[in-house]
Structure 1
């Protein structure tokens, strides 16, 4: 019900709801409590009964902690990842996995991102080495709270599924991924006319 109401708001429907929740997240925990869910959905003008709010919250609070992870919430709300999005995510992963072993490591990043890493302010100031700069990027993609310096396809897909959940338009997501990873422009792999 919430998904269909967001879609009825047209382009930007999910994004608008996401922006409201970001503003409500005053402690930057990236978690949504029941009152935040209630207030956010109501202030966005979506019409859901109080009993449906409780059902929604309980269904999304999978671990019973009383909080919902924001990215998981947006992902559930948007629904499954479209094949065209999965395709461009795969293209980015394959580009970074230089040696083709199915894992992105600092060694892979050195091959294609050393020049960009050397532009990072902390590298330029001497605060970080090249490896530390590349590891910073790698850790952002790795499993939260458990970075091991290697990013598998599943970890990469989970990370970009979270990003995807905050981007309404498939074409914009494709453009975003191609710009971030300097992928060739054109129709996404797997596009059918």
Structure 2
């Protein structure tokens, strides 16, 4: 049975999501580590090796079908950002909008990255409600760092979350929440965003 590129992307997406909210970002990290020439392009062998490192084994026939469908201009390489965008679970615009709002609120200095100093301004009150802060086990800074690490690069946090990383993380979360209104409410409550229409 042959599969088209969309079906293969769906298979890859499901494999990534089995690894939790950070699954897609985990695969992204492997690709970035392999991009030693900073070309932001993936050749066939890199695609195969990255998937194997991530624990996803596909036949060469399937991989060639996927690669050829994604290599739109037949240059022998896939644009990394385009590949990751296709891999991200589809989301309705209302979900994308609320994720964008949350990122913009946390990115206090508007440099397109969330770092600890941003969180100390925009998320401090949440940290002070954390049970481990209240009990004295963690300082406010430790709570904020743990939060940042949870949405940062899995296994190798660099202390900086880009808009793309934030979107990839919440695309994984979104895939686990069926109801649009609940997802919106959850995001607004978590990040202290105004209610829609406010």
> What does 1:79-158 align with in structure 2 at a 5 Å threshold?
79-158=89-168
Q: Kindly report the root-mean-square deviation, in angstroms, between the aligned alpha carbons of the 2 structures.
A: 3.0
CA offset at residue 174 of structure 1?
A: 1.5
Q: Provide the rounded CA distance (Å) in 2 between the counterparts of 1:91 and 1:139.
A: 20
Give how far 1:81 is off. Answer: 1.9
- CA shift for structure 1 position 125: 3.1
Give the TM-score normalised by the residue count of structure 1: 0.56
TM-score of the two chains, using structure 2 as the length reference: 0.54
2:73 is aligned with 1:63: no
In the alignment, the residues of structure 2 paired with residue 81 and residue 116 of structure 1 have an alpha-carbon distance, to the nearest angstrom, of 27
In the other structure, the counterpart of 1:174 is 184
**Residues 134 and 169 (structure 1 numbering): CA distance in 2 closer, same or farther, change over 3 Å?**
same
Note closer, same or farther for the CA distance 1:106–1:133 as it changes in structure 2 (3 Å cut): same
| CA 1:84–1:130: 2 relative to 1, 3 Å | same
Question: Any gaps of 5 or more consecutive residues in structure 2?
Answer: 1-13, 21-49, 58-85
Measure how far apart 1:95 and its partner are. 0.6
Write the distance in 2 (CA, Å) between the matches of 1:108 and 1:63.
34
Structure 1 partner of 2:174: 164
